[in-house]
Structure 1
Amino acid sequence: MNDLTGLGSTDHLSIINILFLILIAILGGLIVWLIMRSTVIKRQYEEIRKAKEEAERAYTSKSRFLANMSHEIRTPINTIMGMNEMAIREDARGVPKDYFISMMNYAFDIRNASESLLGLINDLLDISKIESGKMHLVEQEYDTQDMLRSIVSMIRVRTVEKELTFEVVIDEVMPKRLYGDMGKIKQIVLNLLTNAVKYTPRGGLILNVSMESRENDVCTLCFAVKDTGIGIKEEDMGRLFTAYDRLDEEKNAEIQGTGLGLDISNRFAELMGGQLWCESTYGEGSEFFLSLGQKIVDATPIGIFIEHDDIGAKGPYVPHFIAPDADILVVDDNPLNLSVIKGLLKATRVFVTTALSGEEAIDKIKDNHFDFVLLDHMMPEMDGIETLEKIREIEPDIPVYALTANSTTGEDFYLSKGFDGYLSKPVDTEVLEKVILKYLPEEMVEVIDRDEVVEELKELPENMLWINETEGIDVDEGIKNSGGIGSFIFALELFLDTIDSNTKVIRDSYEEGNIRLYTIKVHSLKSSCRIIGARELSEYALKLEKAGKRNDIAFIDANNDIFLAEYEAYKEKLKSLKVVVSDDEDKELIPADELEDAYATLKEMIPLMDYDAVSMVVDGLMEYKLPDDDAIKIYDLSKMLKIFDWDAMEEWIKNV
């Protein structure tokens, strides 16, 4: 009995020991599991933290890169566009006319290319602002019709150049004045229209703007852009609003762009609480829709939309004001930027003092009084913000604007640092002048009536009315494209004077097989024709230019002689200009013997290539009223003299 009891007790202890060991094992396993779990989680957390830090560093590096890129690229663009603008403004008096018109055409091409490059950079910076959360609404009151006019006029020029139709349908019941972010609306609609022009080889496009609904003081607007272009494949629709993604790359290889426009437009639409979408049939065309709400300021209907297509017809440059007693300080470490600003302000006659550093600027402010300061932000050693702090210690109330190539930094930043505002590079002449005018005392400024200066002639002179009947010239279009009646007459003279020289270059380059030079000259002539309203000849030149670009020799062979014949026919059409230019009723009719002596002298001096003597005789003849035939002869001679064409002058004396 005792043995059985002892055995039972032993078994009981064994079971307890086993359970204890199992408990210890479980507890040990739990501890190990907890330690391992903690270690793994900690390691994973650490990896996540490191990945986040790397992402933030990468994002910071990207933002810094974009900011630096903005500054580094905008600075030379500022110089290019500024110098080009100064070249366009140069006085053309005394310059050989064929040279002048070529230079103007080149300058306009430089302006267009620079603006395209600037647009690409702005796209990159916009997407960077959106991704960093720095993009915000800039709402303001605006005139509905003015906004639509500016959009339409910008696109009208591009559609004319590409020979596309452009129909505009505007809802007459749209409110006259609205409140919202007009800038972003314009950017979206212009992007849609620009894309429509790019991707439409033939046919045209339609802009339809309507008010879809109205509730109290809020209306819903719908902008629809429809084209007859290449369309979008169904499988590509999902990628349509993706950044950096260009569809149908092989087919669209020649079309320039970043692939950011639609993505930026879509994000802008979302930022404004709107919606952007597309409907398309591949091969037939596309239609983009933008729908968004705007507050109503003035509910008066805009009525019939009247388009003013003046974008390409600004006319001669006229400053907003003249202030010879104004003193302005411009501070920039780049001498070219200083030269550009001085050149752009030359017409205002303000006195511009320059400084290449913050230290130099401080010294000049200590010794002089300035009415306005334009201060570059990014400078070595003492930057613009540091310089401003010292300026405020010396002159607390002087207006100081930041000059910056970094457009990712908005106005709020510069205002918070004590600046009165900022101007971005490239500098816009209109904005620059308006800003300076805002701060100059009234007694110092003479404000110019720009309309009065630009349009000195209100109608064609009586002796020029024949141009209205000239076949191949649309006078109204020519006046619009030239910027006024006076400029139109000058453009006609330039066009007539360069027919012979242009014809020779085009014919020689064609015969020599130099298609590159041929294309360049035809391109230049296309613009010249458009300026004087010779639309059909301009379109013919455009076709030859396109043929040259695609090396279509067959088309050029079939059309070159016909084109040149039509071009040379304008010598006969415009020959009366030679009489008009020399005609002046106030002048005394030249005595016959003096005219005969003048011709005799010219026959003697021209073979000797005596420029001064020939020039003196021509200038003397211009003091008199000449008979029509002689006026034409002397006009021709003066033209040859300006370009030193002695061979042509030798031929000229044989026929007098």
Structure 2
Amino acid sequence: MIGVQSDFNYLLLDESGTGVNWNFTGIMDELSFNLETDPSPAEWNWTDPERWSSFWKEASASERTETIQYTKRNGDVIRLRLRSIPSRNRHTLILFSAESSTSGSDIPGLFLADPELRAMLFQKSANAILLLDPERDTVVENNATAVRYFESETPEALRNRSFPSLFSDSSFAEAYSSLKTTFTETENVSREAELQTLRGKKFWANISFRILSSSRNRLLLVQIKDVTEKIQAEKSLAAHEANLNAIIENSEALIWSVDKDYKLIIYNSRFESMMRKYYGPTLEPGRYVFPEGVSAENIRNWKSFYDRALSGDRFSVNGTRPGEKEGETVFSETSFYPIADPKGKITGVSAVSVDITEKKLAEEKFRILFEHSSEPHVLYDENGIFECNPAALNMLRCRDKNLLLGKHPASFSSELKPDGSAVQESVQETEERALKKGSYTFERMYKRMNGELFPTEVALTPMTLRRRTVFLAVWHEFTERKEYEDSLKRAKEIAEAASKAKSDFLAMMSHEIRTPLNGVIGTVSLLEGTSLSLEQKEYVDIIKSSGQNLLILLNDILDLSRIESGQLKLEPQPVSAASLSEDVVGLFRSMAEEKGLKIESKLSSTVPNWIVADPFRLRQILMNLLGNSVKFTEKGRISLNVEAEKFPNDKLRLIFRVQDTGIGIPEEKLELLFKAFNQLDSSTTRKYGGSGLGLTISKKLAELMKGEIIVKSQVGRGSEFSLSILTEKLDYKVPAGIQELHSKNLARIALVSIRDVSLREQIKKFCERSGFSVRIARSGGDVIRIVSEEERIGIFLTDLDLPDKTLPEILDELKNSNPNLRLTVILFMENEFRNSYYMTTEGLFNRPGFKIFMMFKPILLDELAKNFDKAFPVQTVRENRSGNETQKLSERIPLKILLVEDNVINQKIALRLLSKLGYSAETALNGVEALSHLEKTEYDLIFMDIQMPEMDGFETTQRIRKNDRIRKPVIVAMTANAMEGDRERCIEAGMDAYISKPVQITDIESAIVHLFSS
């Protein structure tokens, strides 16, 4: 086969290594062989034949690239670069060129020479190759890379496609039409353009065009190389350069660069505008950087800076330079940086000069403030203190500044804070906090040079000074403040000790007074139940009234003490404003009528049926106000009017107006009304009596209720006391039985265990409106745990089946753990259980100690309210009853009772009160005796005193509850301890209820009825 004329040098060898096709354009004359006569390259004049043999052996199997020396005709040695491409028909294509030649990088000559070679080169090329019909601009043939470039599903999908349609927009297509006129057969024409794939994805490419022609055919060879990354990099670089130029041009600094000969390379507009007046019109790149007229010394200095940077150093110098204004001089900081070429060779210097005049003035101002501040200042870095002011020297009692330099401020700190606690954070943590927050303040005890400790507040602030981070520590000594704080602390401790002593004294006096008072009032109560003459009855009434007045005074003193110490807590619950008003007026009706006074109450239509308030404390205020009106009114009338005003956020302001036609109060004496232990004058005390505490307590209680008491009065015409409280309206009527329980602080908790979330929330709100605190149990295990922990559970509302237990299983476990347990249960059932086993006595209801009510779903709140009424009937207890009536309680609720009381008189009174209810009781003088009794006898009920010798009531109760050998009785505290928190302490100790002395028979009866009624 003869060679084809082409700039591409190739040799096609068969499997034996014999040439079958070739082209040596451009170097044929230099080689000393002829393939037509000598077709085997192995016989050629290789300088190293073994190297050719090694190359050929591997070239026929895989692509190889090698450079081999060859001796030309004239004896010169030429280096040939060889590349082998094996084909499927066991032929091997060798592409080669002289090492200095640029030919061989294109392949146009092969495309018309041999279809097999064309196909082979198509598949081997890393670039996309298209053969176009130059007349129609359509694709005739394409390689696999083109299929991948253009995201074509098959090679055939590109065939017959218009080449201009592959450009991303029409501008490129139009440019291609103009470019076609320049295509030749002798050289490539290359352009960069944006193309698009068949799926619309765009990419940038370098496109090479060349005409291929033969006697039978003419084609356009198009080689395409993806250069998207290069174009994007160029654009990014251009944008970066544009940004950099913008920064340089817009910088307030003077920026310029010079070469090794001190000639300007580039500079920004700021440099140009500043320096044009010195350079004149000759300022341009390539000009000598030093203008005419500059002194030789100045030139030497600047040359030394440039030379230092040319040696590779980067540095800054501070100095002065001319300013923008005529004759102006500014402080400047000029930084010098070496400029290096890509090989690292330094070719010039860049300089940046910044005006630091303001910074310099600020530093000078800081220095003046630093030096002359009365507050101690120190500056330090990692090497310690490097500057301090005279105030710091004075504070540390240091005469020589050099003694401080190099020391860390922490070396003067102790390990204590001013309050005596230990320092927890390290120096490093302190500095890190200052760096993070910008400033950090802390307190430490520091040491002077003489070892004296003093309290200091330190403000630590990080600063940048000469391009390094340093810390400014400002110390504020507060020795005087610390001494003042210590004195306040001591005074507080003394006041707290005095307050505790006062509380302890009041608690002791309360207990000591209540104990004999219990004997007095209890004995009178017993006397009233006997046959008395009229004279004896009169004496009993006097003793009873005196005892009650003494008890009121004692309670008032305790209330005032609780309020002043912040220990008195309100207990809001549903209250009927109408009933409460009528009840209070009713208490004073007989007293008023005895004096010939008319007393009445009026309720405005704006007042709701039910409100939320503390009924005990509200009643206490109204009784005090009405009691005063009855006391100080001799003729006329007394009225209690109740009104309501709307308040924001669904609140109400309830106003109780107490009006009378009494003696009135002088205007100048009104301010004395609410002062403790104060009367308007001594004659008032002599005539009317009283401690002067009632109004003081009432005013403070009103303030606790977010209200007030306002007084209007005229001497001789009467007074009006207006009590206002903040409350809220309730739409639900709380059953009277529940109100009675709440008033005695009994059964205040409702336990709810209902699976349905909506029903559970509905029941929870209902119970809360009824004055109960609500505990939620989500399983039978929760129920058993909560009942064992809480002593004041009044009602249990539940489904039949809980996740882990049924209700019968729960009730059985509760009874086994506490045989004396009494509990009211409301059970919510599905309708299908109406006639089930659970409705029988054997199924659910035969469980002593449990009062069970059943409701069927859906649950109606009206029906639930009726069940609450049934569950908590009013337990009416009358003071005057016959012996037959009182006997009925012991017959209805037979009990084995133990009375634990160390005071013999109180013991006798309690036994007599119990006997009036039909009970006899065994006695113990202290806890030790009580435990001894319990080892031998099982009791249903224990009345437990608290303060007793040998073992008090708290410890006795706890031992009873922990002793598994003792049957667990119901325990009721019967104590003279009536301070705030005493009731809670009794319940926490394990007692079931609480009665404070002096004890009334109604208190005992109410407790028994509640605890044992089921």
TM range (shorter): 0.5 to 0.7
C-alpha contact 1:320 1:434 (8 A) present in aligned 2? no
C-alpha contact 1:81 1:426 (8 A) present in aligned 2? yes
Counterpart in the other structure of 1:264? 697
CA distance in 1, matches of 2:984, 2:389: 67
> In structure 2, do the counterparts of structure 1 residues 38 and 146 end up closer, same or farther at CA, with 3 Å as the change threshold?
closer
- Residue 173 of structure 1 and its aligned partner are, at CA, apart by 5.6
- Residue 299 of structure 1 and its aligned partner are, at CA, apart by 7.1
Counterpart in the other structure of 2:924? 355
What is the TM-score with the length of structure 2 in the denominator?
0.38
Are 1:341 and 2:910 matched, yes or no? Answer: yes
Counterpart in the other structure of 1:560? none
> Where do 5+ consecutive residues of structure 1 fail to align?
1-18, 93-98, 301-310, 443-656
Q: Which amino acid is the alignment partner of residue 886 of structure 2? A: P
- Residue 347 of structure 1 and its aligned partner are, at CA, apart by 2.4
- Residue 315 of structure 1 and its aligned partner are, at CA, apart by 4.6
CA distance in 1, matches of 2:906, 2:484: 53
Question: Which one of 487, 492, 508 corresponds to residue 52 of structure 1?
Answer: 492
Counterpart in the other structure of 2:987? 415
CA distance in 2, matches of 1:415, 1:102: 44
C-alpha contact 2:562 2:980 (8 A) present in aligned 1? no
Are 1:373 and 2:973 matched, yes or no? Answer: no
Counterpart in the other structure of 2:513? 73
> In structure 2, do the counterparts of structure 1 residues 26 and 335 end up closer, same or farther at CA, with 3 Å as the change threshold?
closer
CA distance in 2, matches of 1:428, 1:149: 24
Q: Which amino acid is the alignment partner of residue 403 of structure 1? A: M
Give secondary structure in 2 for the equivalent of 1:283: coil
Are 1:330 and 2:895 matched, yes or no? Answer: no
- Residue 408 of structure 1 and its aligned partner are, at CA, apart by 1.0
Are 1:210 and 2:643 matched, yes or no? Answer: yes
More helix as a share of residues: 1
Are 1:232 and 2:657 matched, yes or no? Answer: no
> In structure 2, do the counterparts of structure 1 residues 441 and 366 end up closer, same or farther at CA, with 3 Å as the change threshold?
farther
Matches within 5 A, 1:386-465: 386-392=955-961, 393=963, 394-395=965-966, 397-410=968-981, 411-440=983-1012
- Residue 433 of structure 1 and its aligned partner are, at CA, apart by 0.6
Give secondary structure in 2 for the equivalent of 1:242: coil
CA distance in 1, matches of 2:912, 2:576: 34
Counterpart in the other structure of 1:278? 711
CA distance in 2, matches of 1:344, 1:236: 47
- Residue 67 of structure 1 and its aligned partner are, at CA, apart by 0.5
What is the TM-score with the length of structure 1 in the denominator?
0.57
C-alpha contact 2:993 2:1007 (8 A) present in aligned 1? no
> In structure 2, do the counterparts of structure 1 residues 352 and 40 end up closer, same or farther at CA, with 3 Å as the change threshold?
same
Q: Which amino acid is the alignment partner of residue 127 of structure 1? A: L
> In structure 2, do the counterparts of structure 1 residues 388 and 283 end up closer, same or farther at CA, with 3 Å as the change threshold?
same
> In structure 2, do the counterparts of structure 1 residues 244 and 441 end up closer, same or farther at CA, with 3 Å as the change threshold?
closer
C-alpha contact 1:193 1:225 (8 A) present in aligned 2? yes
Per-residue deviation, residues 483-504 of structure 1 (Å, max 9, x unmatched): xxxxxxxxxxxxxxxxxxxxxx
Q: How many residues align?
A: 405
- Residue 181 of structure 1 and its aligned partner are, at CA, apart by 0.9
> In structure 2, do the counterparts of structure 1 residues 244 and 225 end up closer, same or farther at CA, with 3 Å as the change threshold?
same
CA distance in 2, matches of 1:170, 1:26: 75
Q: Which amino acid is the alignment partner of residue 46 of structure 1? A: D
Per-residue deviation, residues 429-464 of structure 1 (Å, max 9, x unmatched): 21211211233375xxxxxxxxxxxxxxxxxxxxxx
Per-residue deviation, residues 148-192 of structure 1 (Å, max 9, x unmatched): 232112111222333333233233563333332111111111000
Counterpart in the other structure of 1:522? none
CA distance in 1, matches of 2:1013, 2:700: 43
Counterpart in the other structure of 1:458? none
Give secondary structure in 2 for the equivalent of 1:254: helix
> Where do 5+ consecutive residues of structure 2 fail to align?
1-370, 373-387, 399-447, 455-476, 734-875
> In structure 2, do the counterparts of structure 1 residues 230 and 390 end up closer, same or farther at CA, with 3 Å as the change threshold?
same
> In structure 2, do the counterparts of structure 1 residues 320 and 32 end up closer, same or farther at CA, with 3 Å as the change threshold?
farther
Q: Which amino acid is the alignment partner of residue 399 of structure 1? A: V
Counterpart in the other structure of 1:548? none
Give secondary structure in 2 for the equivalent of 1:134: coil
- Residue 275 of structure 1 and its aligned partner are, at CA, apart by 2.2
Question: Which one of 587, 590, 608 corresponds to residue 154 of structure 1?
Answer: 587
C-alpha contact 1:371 1:440 (8 A) present in aligned 2? no
Question: Which one of 481, 493, 502 corresponds to residue 62 of structure 1?
Answer: 502
> In structure 2, do the counterparts of structure 1 residues 252 and 351 end up closer, same or farther at CA, with 3 Å as the change threshold?
closer
Give secondary structure in 2 for the equivalent of 1:322: helix
Question: Which one of 574, 582, 607 corresponds to residue 174 of structure 1?
Answer: 607
Are 1:289 and 2:707 matched, yes or no? Answer: no
CA distance in 2, matches of 1:431, 1:25: 79
Please provide the CA RMSD for this pair.
3.1
Per-residue deviation, residues 313-368 of structure 1 (Å, max 9, x unmatched): 96545438422542111111101111111111212212211111111111111111
| More deviation, 266-275/166-175 | 166-175
Give secondary structure in 1 for the equivalent of 2:909: helix
C-alpha contact 2:568 2:980 (8 A) present in aligned 1? no
Give secondary structure in 1 for the equivalent of 2:921: strand
- Residue 243 of structure 1 and its aligned partner are, at CA, apart by 2.4
More strand as a share of residues: 2
CA distance in 1, matches of 2:649, 2:394: 70
Per-residue deviation, residues 31-75 of structure 1 (Å, max 9, x unmatched): 579989754334333322221111111100000011111101111
| More deviation, 150-159/37-46 | 37-46
- Residue 214 of structure 1 and its aligned partner are, at CA, apart by 7.6
Are 1:117 and 2:550 matched, yes or no? Answer: yes
Question: Which one of 77, 88, 98 corresponds to residue 528 of structure 2?
Answer: 88
Identity of aligned residues (%): 35
C-alpha contact 2:887 2:918 (8 A) present in aligned 1? no
Per-residue deviation, residues 247-293 of structure 1 (Å, max 9, x unmatched): 23344433222222112111211212222211112332210001223
CA distance in 2, matches of 1:239, 1:271: 21
- Residue 403 of structure 1 and its aligned partner are, at CA, apart by 1.6
CA distance in 2, matches of 1:430, 1:164: 31
C-alpha contact 1:177 1:297 (8 A) present in aligned 2? yes
CA distance in 1, matches of 2:478, 2:557: 44
C-alpha contact 2:647 2:653 (8 A) present in aligned 1? yes
- Residue 126 of structure 1 and its aligned partner are, at CA, apart by 0.5
- Residue 83 of structure 1 and its aligned partner are, at CA, apart by 0.7
CA distance in 2, matches of 1:292, 1:441: 37
Q: Which amino acid is the alignment partner of residue 632 of structure 2? A: Y
- Residue 221 of structure 1 and its aligned partner are, at CA, apart by 2.1
C-alpha contact 2:597 2:637 (8 A) present in aligned 1? yes
* RCO comparison, higher one (Cα < 8 Å, 6+): 1
Larger radius of gyration: 2
CA distance in 1, matches of 2:966, 2:682: 57
Are 1:132 and 2:703 matched, yes or no? Answer: no
Question: Which one of 13, 31, 41 corresponds to residue 481 of structure 2?
Answer: 41
Q: Which amino acid is the alignment partner of residue 323 of structure 1? A: S
Q: Which amino acid is the alignment partner of residue 421 of structure 1? A: A
